[in-house]
Amino acid sequence: MRLRASHLHACLADPVLDTMNFLNEVTMRFPRAISFAPGRPLERHFDSRRVLGEMLASVTATSEELDKRMQYGPAKGIICEAIAKMLRVDEKIEAAAEDIVITVGCQEAMFLAALSLRDAERQNVLLVAEPSYVGIVGASKMCDMPIEPVACGPDGLSLQSLRETIASVAASGKRVAAVYVCPDFSNPDGTTMPLASRRELLALAHTNDFLILEDNAYGMFAFDGERLPTLKSQDEHGHVVYLGTFSKLIFPGIRVGFMVAGQRVEHGSKTTSLADELGKLKSMITVNTPPASQLAVLAILEQNQYSLENLERAAIASYRNNRDGLLDALARHLPDAAALGISWNRPAGGFFLTVHVPFEVTDDLLRHSASAHEVIWVPMQYFYLRSGGERQIRLAFSYVDHDRIDEGIARFGTFLRETITAQSSTAPSDKENLK
């Protein structure tokens, strides 16, 4: 039997679902290229045999005890208590265990958030800080959740753009249900929201009565001194739904994320919690998060007195070292960057950095860079809903071999120079057209 694509879900035709395929394809086709594309954690820090082994060792009771854990279990998870302790110790977040939902990676948390907020009349709108993580955009499109972008600047989310978007959504007769934001070392642009904007965002949420979906996938990887407080830790009025993950620190294959959603939901006179509602949705998607994965996380938390800071230290050193190597290499190979119209930011943590270039970055240029220069990166426009980011490139420094960063950036520099030269030699006709 043959099916017509037009008879399937419309989101399947959306380029956001193909972005990753295209990147994988480029990476596979040019295996010798040095890649600044994947925003992955370093395998050297995984220690997966030990982590998975601890899971078995830690269930100290009988084998029958372990068998019981492997039965169908509560949709919200079995390690909520331990996650609440960790949040208290590491993030100064006070969360009740019953307000936590354990998810199959943070991606399921995003999907559940988008799905729960997709009301029947499509009055709710989800605002997403742009450039945005493809996971929140893809999830929203899959559940027909209307989304609108909010611009970001060098300090992350622009409050000015947020105010304008709130006004335009209100003017269209719709309702801002939530704002998705990654305040710490954002994927893809590597920005950090300053404390003052965090406070202003919380105040705006309170005035306008919307939720904030705070994605804190990278906050633990702070390179330069003290971390700023998370939105959730400052969330006096309960506007923040906090999204966390163990993918970056333990390993992605653990597939354990979580969300804190203690908001009350009113059904006439009865009230429930948003966490309970999310649990109901989850029970029809994945039933529950694999208990073996949950128990492995539990074992790691228990061994570390519910603080992951010790575990983070070695990983932070690696990622900081890579960031520094990347910044050094950029300065070394592009000493005339300003004259060329090239600039980049200095991320204070996380996995990503943004390079601004004086030309439009296309898929063709990426292919050319991979084949002729053997260096791979990501066009920033992949992370924009409609247009934007055309003159930006995302460089991920988390997964590239430290020893190859210098060579990779040497190639990247050559590619940039070549492209600028090629475009300026074709530019006169454009300039003439502008006269």
Cα of 202 vs its chain's centroid, Å: 20
Nearer Cβ to its own copies (107/191): 107
Identified binder of its own copies from the candidate list 12, 196, 314, 422, rule CB under 8 A: 12
Binding of residue 11 to its own copies (CB under 8 A): yes
| Under 8 Å between Cβ of 112 and 370 | no
For its own copies, the binding residues in 143-202 under the rule CB under 8 A are 143-144, 175, 177
- Residue 364 token pair: 């063709």
d(CA 326, CA 275): 41
Q: Which two tokens stand for residue 369?
A: 């860079």
Rank residues 8 and 427 by Cβ distance to its own copies and give the closer one: 8
Q: Is 60 in the site for its own copies (CB under 8 A)?
A: no
Q: Is 255 in the site for its own copies (CB under 8 A)?
A: yes
For residue 243, which of 345, 377, 100, 78 has the smallest C-alpha distance? 100
Site for its own copies in 287-316 (CB under 8 A): 287-293, 296
Determine, following the binding rule CB under 8 A, whether residue 207 of this chain makes contact with its own copies: no
Asked if 1 touches its own copies (CB under 8 A), the answer is yes
Site string for its own copies, 323-362 (x = CB under 8 A): ----------------------------------------
* Number of Cα atoms under 13 Å in the Cβ half of residue 118: 17
Ramachandran region of residue 166, left (φ > 0), alpha (ψ -120 to 50) or beta?
alpha
Q: Which of residues 3, 28, 171, 338 is near its own copies by CB under 8 A?
A: 3
Measured CA distances, 1 to 11, 359, 412 (Å): 22, 46, 47
| C-beta closer to its own copies: residue 154 or 253 | 253
Contact between 5 and its own copies per CB under 8 A: yes
How far apart are the C-alpha atoms of 328 and 335, rounded to whole Å? 10
**In the complex with its own copies, which residue's Cβ is closer, 38 or 229?**
38
Please report whether residue 25 would count as binding its own copies according to CB under 8 A.
Answer: no
Tell me which of 32, 267, 386, 431 binds its own copies, using CB under 8 A: 267
E-strand stretches of 12-123: 34-35, 100-103
72 binds its own copies (CB under 8 A): yes
Piece of 120-128, 153-161, 185-193, 389-397 that binds its own copies (CB under 8 A): 120-128
Q: Is 203 in the site for its own copies (CB under 8 A)?
A: no
- Please check whether residue 116 is in contact with residue 281, taking contact to mean a CB–CB distance below 8 angstroms: yes
Nearest CB to its own copies, comparing residues 143 and 410: 143
Helix (H) or strand (E) holding 44: none
Identify the residue among 22, 66, 98, 390 touching its own copies (CB under 8 A): 66
- 71 near 245, Cβ under 8 Å? no
Residue written as tokens 């994605």?
215
Contact pick of 40, 368, 404, 417 for its own copies (by CB under 8 A): 40
* Interface of this chain with its own copies, residues 132 to 151, rule: CB under 8 A: 135, 138-139, 142-144
Q: Minimum CB separation from its own copies for residue 422, in Å?
A: 31
Asked if 411 interacts with its own copies (CB under 8 A), we say: no
- Give the number of residues in contact with its own copies, rule: CB under 8 A: 97
Q: Per the structure block, which two tokens stand in for 319?
A: 């990622």
20 binds its own copies (CB under 8 A): yes
Smaller CB distance to its own copies: residue 162 or 177? 177
Residue 213 contacts residue 180 (beta carbons within 8 Å):
yes
> How many other CB atoms are found less than 10 A from the CB of residue 27?
15
Is the Cβ–Cβ distance between 233 and 362 less than 8 Å? no
Is there a cis peptide before residue 188, judged by omega within 30 degrees of 0?
yes
Question: By CB under 8 A, which span of 79-87, 278-286, 366-374, 383-391 interacts with its own copies?
Answer: 278-286
Nearer to its own copies, 116 or 354 (CB): 116
Query: Which of 107, 103, 55, 97 has the alpha carbon at shortest distance from 75?
Result: 103
Nearer to its own copies, 330 or 400 (CB): 400
According to DSSP, the residues that pair with 379 across neighbouring strands are: 393
